[in-house]
Amino acid sequence: MAENILEVKNLTKDYGDFVLNDLSFSIPRGVIMGLIGENGAGKSTTVNCILNEIKKNSGNILIFGKDHIIDECEIKDKIGIVFDENHFPDIFTPKEIEKYMSGIYTNWDSIAFRNYLKQFELPAKKKIKDFSKGMKADLSGRIQTGSYTNRDRQKVYTTDIVVEEIEFGESKGSNQSQQKSETPHPETDPYGFMDIPDGIDEEMPFA
């Protein structure tokens, strides 16, 4: 039987006007899981409870078989979280972020971090608030930690920067007219879901 990397049992969080009630699920090692649902269904609440970013009312959460509160520091030294927005203070520079993160993660790789800054042409001494939108996108969500068991059955921890696509943003004014004339028509897949092609403004009116 596969080991469960994550176990959530009878999780409850009560906001008063919204209740995440008695949620239970588990994720075995090696499984990729997507948490989907309508707006307000409790997806963010669930993730934030797992990360102990918000306090649950009741229930048990185990990560790597350890309590997510009692063993929080040990657990977070082994996992990577990619948020949809930058969560660093915007007065920080990448160089200051490196100093901050290296003090948190015991397996932090400063050489790899600096090499990625050079590769994506991100200025190490420039404050995040002065970055272009494209630069902010390149800086966010690049840090990921993980672990594996080697041939000697020893646990090895890694720090990686994962890149799926390199794209620097442009100002809306520079390509607004082009978007109006060249915006492609979205197509739907067999299940009725719509693919949003390149060229459509990412700031959708219902976001």
Please choose, from the candidates 78, 80, 81, 101, the residue with its C-alpha nearest in 3D space to the C-alpha of residue 148: 78
pLDDT at 90 over 80: yes
| Residue 174's pLDDT band (cuts 50, 70, 90) | very low
Residue pair 29/2 in contact by the 8 Å Cβ criterion: yes
Tokens standing for residue 47? 């993730």
Q: Would you state the pLDDT for residue 176?
A: 46
Q: What is the mean pLDDT of residues 81-87?
A: 76
Q: What's the whole-number mean pLDDT along residues 23-41?
A: 91
Asked if residue 197 is part of any domain, the answer here is no
Residue 199 lies in a domain: no
Number of domains in the chain: 2
Q: How far is CA 130 from the centre of its chain?
A: 22
Question: Is residue 168's pLDDT more than 70?
Answer: no
The answer to whether residues 27 and 58 belong to one domain is yes
Answer whether residue 149 is part of any domain: yes
Question: Does 31 fall in a domain?
Answer: yes
User: Which residue, of 127, 144, 161, is where some domain finishes?
Assistant: 161
CATH of the domain at 46: 3.40.50.300
In a domain, 198, yes or no: no
Q: Each residue of 128-141: pLDDT tens digit?
A: 888 877 766 665 55
The stretch 20-34 carries a mean pLDDT of: 93
Predicted confidence at residue 157, as pLDDT, reads: 62
Is the pLDDT confidence value at 202 over 50?
no
Q: How many CA atoms lie within 13 A of 192 on its CB side?
A: 0
Predicted local distance difference test score (pLDDT) of residue 108: 87
- The alpha helices in 34-153, defined as continuous H runs, are 43-50, 72-76, 94-102, 110-119, 133-139
Residues 8 and 60 reside in one and the same domain: yes
Q: What domain range is 41 assigned to? A: 4-76
pLDDT tens digit string along 97-112? 999 888 888 888 899 9
- Judgement on whether residues 10 and 70 belong to the same structural domain of the protein: yes
108 & 148 share domain? yes
pTM for this predicted structure: 0.57
Closest CA to 61 of 20, 105, 119, 110: 20
CA 13 to centroid of chain Cα atoms? 22
Has residue 121 been placed in a domain?
yes
Predicted pLDDT at 94: 92
Note the pLDDT of residue 179.
46
Asked whether 138 and 72 are in contact (CB, 8 A), the reply is: no
